[in-house]
Structure 1
């Protein structure tokens, strides 16, 4: 509606001041993509992993403490075979005490980074057939075979040893969570500190 309202105004200005505006122009582009089908991601267990209460004395003082590995099931259901990628949004961005592609676990009251979590996809199956996951750090120009699911890369599905994304209707994989707590000596743990990791898995169409 805003574009339609602007067009008559531009016409009136041109009619009133032809000399002033004749040499000054600009372009307006309206773009988008209409996808032939939609895909919906779903994570088992409501997408929640709870490690419960952890005693500060059980954390390693000078090294990262690895928490027990956890797994959830990821499913993507599309209306028809669709080219798509998976990625995450780190809703605790900037709080990872680990690598940049890990997801943050929040901060202590003193602003110290609590730790980080990495997601990997294992045993991927597409339309009933075992497949592999591939990732791209350059927006899909090139691909490498990895199991990572992160906010710094695109993850797609490929067949066999190929490095080319394929169209998929039904996709299933196990999400394995690797979680580390930062060295206790770098944290202020005089009060209870919540582990507050939160990420969103999103589907983007190629």
Structure 2
């Protein structure tokens, strides 16, 4: 429901009727930040990891099957030195079969979770200098070294020797790897071809 008209009317009524009612007050603030520089993230290969066609015999019957890791290049270009973090949106939310902090691969046969894919950022170089990947699971209150990139945390970059806090960058280059795991074949009904249908959105947030 849009409450804007009723709020505007209440303010107008108070302004037109001074002294009629006893009143108390509450400050209302509008805040935000306008950053002087914007950043653009780019993934090589259009951001696609293609595992090709697998057969049911390629899957272990009783244990999860790890596929060959996929890799793409991550580039971030900012107009100037900028503090930012990276995170993702799992566009197949609720379908991760291995770990809820990873990304789902879709659901087949109405109710069978196909597997999971985890992303990691490796060998980052910022402004021509090696840096390290750091992670925060408490919205930036604390940070630690980790290659994880996903929807369950914020990812940023820090000097190799610390401190473990995000640093301002203008350019970033790194390897982004995808680790795909398929559930045991015994957990799936494989009578027809089924797609490996993982999809996530990479988000850059100014810090």
Length-normalised TM-score, structure 2: 0.91
How many Å apart are 1:58 and its aligned residue? 1.8
CA contact (8 A) 1:105 1:117 kept: yes
Give 4+ residue runs of structure 1 displaced > 6 Å after superposition: 2-8
Give deviations 1:68-111, integer Å, cap 9, x for gaps. 11110000000000000011111111110111211100001231
Matched residue, 1:53: 53
Between the aligned partners of 2:11 and 2:68, the Cα distance in structure 1 is 67
Gaps of 5+ in 2: none
Gaps of 5+ in 1: none
Between the aligned partners of 2:41 and 2:53, the Cα distance in structure 1 is 30
Matched residue, 2:172: 171
Matched residue, 1:188: 189
Between the aligned partners of 1:34 and 1:82, the Cα distance in structure 2 is 12
Aligned residues: 204
Matched residue, 1:199: 200
CA contact (8 A) 1:83 1:167 kept: yes
How many Å apart are 1:32 and its aligned residue? 2.3
Distance 1:110-1:43 versus aligned 2 partners, 3 A rule:
same
How many Å apart are 1:12 and its aligned residue? 3.4
Distance 1:24-1:43 versus aligned 2 partners, 3 A rule:
same
1:136-147 paired onto structure 2 within 5 Å = 136-147=136-147
How many Å apart are 1:35 and its aligned residue? 1.0
RMSD over aligned Cα atoms: 2.2
